[in-house]
Amino acid sequence: MHEWALAEAVISSLKEIANREGLKEIREVHLKVGELQQVDEEILLFALSQMRSGKLANTKFILKTSRARFKCRVCGHKWLLKEVKAPDEVKESIHFIPEVAYAYIRCPKCNSPDFEVSSGRGLWILSVRGVK
Amino acid sequence: MYDPRLSIIGERLSGINRIIVVSSGKGGVGKSLIASTISLLLARRGFKVGLLDLDFTSPTTHVVLGVTGMQPSEDRGIVPPTVHGIKYMSLIFYLGERLAPLRGSELSNALLEVLSVTLWGSIDFLMIDMPPGISDLMLDVLKYVRGASFLVVTSPSRMAFETVRKLLLLLKSLKAPVIGVIENMKMDESEYIRREVEALGEIFLGEIHFDRKLEESLGSVSKLLETSFAREVEEIIQRILAYN
């Protein structure tokens, strides 16, 4: 599952952060999960729990979903992912590589493929709480 | 906010012995054909080879290799399918016939995503086919693909070399390792490219003559490897292997 690859990246980053900041332990991590990638949050949390060790052994992970919003660079129209009707195989492709969305989504108002994902893309570490 | 992808790329590339970035700066000089053919020839020599098509908006290596009806598999990441003995990764698996018009920041995001989720495993060579241009993707490859060396392709055209010269100067200024320059589609005996490359202190790896039968071989690896183009690439491979 792709969620396992994302979890691995998070764990690797947290180990780096712990070493860089001289943390003995990381207690709590807030993650922002972009809706565009349609990450299965349960699987992500499970993967994170399975990969915890050392300074991360007792880390609590808190996920916050960021709604995917688009803005047309041509006409300025704004819309949400839930307004986009895409078949499952397209959603799966976007799940792996979110930029694939540019091949399938167009501005519902002017049909331009030139839009920005103004929020809801990717997975981010928002904050880390640890003990020195 | 911290992007966790940045921490895993090194790990994803750690099983690769040599990463060779086939670049030019100029389009239409044969980068994709050369990257694909070198990959095939290295695989034929028994090396474990990966080929990554980073020309996200106009990928073509799948046309050279005749890739159809394949998909990467998933196993805690994306496992590239094996095509003619090569681990092959391209956005074409997700785009199909569609075009993804991407701006610079989106190209960077796509690159980070591909690098952070693709599981190459243990391989001898990863060949990277670059898009034309010396902009976002080139800068990102220089930033994120540590330890890569550059194989630069030019055509005999002075117009093409004008851009290639700038790329070579950029790579030199950044102390990025350059294996050398290949002159592709040669149609006369001009020494212009060789002289210019050597004047820049770079290695002229060799010339590949324009092959009228090459177009017919696209999509058929057995035909491609029988062309004079492939034979000339084979001669150059020896020099690439000698590069440390």
Tell whether B1 lies on the interface with A, counting CB pairs under 8 A. yes
What range defines the domain where residue B77 resides? 5-242
Stronger pLDDT, A85 or A11, i.e. the higher one: A11
State the nearest Cα–Cα gap between A34 and chain B, in angstroms.
12
The tally of domains found in chain A comes to 1
pLDDT of residue B25: 86
CB neighbourhood size of B197 (10 A): 24
Among B8, B53, B71, B140, pick the best mutation site for testing chain A contact (most A Cβ within 10 A): B8
- Which spans in chain A are helix H? 2-21, 41-51, 88-96, 101-104
Confidence class for position A88, pLDDT limits 50, 70, 90: confident
A17–B4 C-beta distance less than 8 A:
no
Whether pLDDT at A1 is above 60: no
B8–A125 C-beta distance less than 8 A:
no
CATH number at residue A122: 3.30.2320.80
A96–B8 C-beta distance less than 8 A:
no
Q: Are strands A69-72 and A115-119 parallel, antiparallel or unpaired?
A: antiparallel
pLDDT of residue A2: 82
pLDDT of residue A36: 94
**Using a CB-CB distance cutoff of 8 angstroms, which residues of chain A are in contact with residue B2?**
13, 17, 124-125
Minimal CA–CA distance to A15: which of A3, A1, A2, A29? Answer: A29
- Gap between the Cα atoms of B116 and B110, Å rounded: 10
What range defines the domain where residue A106 resides? 2-131
Which residues on adjacent β-strands are paired with residue A66? Answer: A34
Q: What is the mean pLDDT of chain A?
A: 95
What does each of the 244 residues of chain B score in pLDDT, given as a tens digit? 999 999 999 999 999 999 999 999 899 999 999 999 999 999 999 999 999 999 999 999 999 999 998 999 998 999 999 999 999 999 999 998 899 999 999 999 999 999 999 999 999 999 999 999 898 999 999 999 999 999 999 999 999 999 999 999 999 999 999 999 999 999 999 999 999 999 999 999 999 999 999 999 999 999 999 999 999 999 999 999 998 7
CATH number at residue B35: 3.40.50.300
- Gap between the Cα atoms of B55 and A93, Å rounded: 18
B169, B10, B85, B29: CA torsion to nearest 10: -20
Which residues on adjacent β-strands are paired with residue B118? Answer: B78
DSSP-based three-state secondary structure for A16? helix
State the nearest Cα–Cα gap between A126 and chain B, in angstroms.
5
The tally of domains found in chain B comes to 1
State the nearest Cα–Cα gap between B146 and chain A, in angstroms.
18
| Nearest residue of A to residue B115, measured between CA atoms | A97
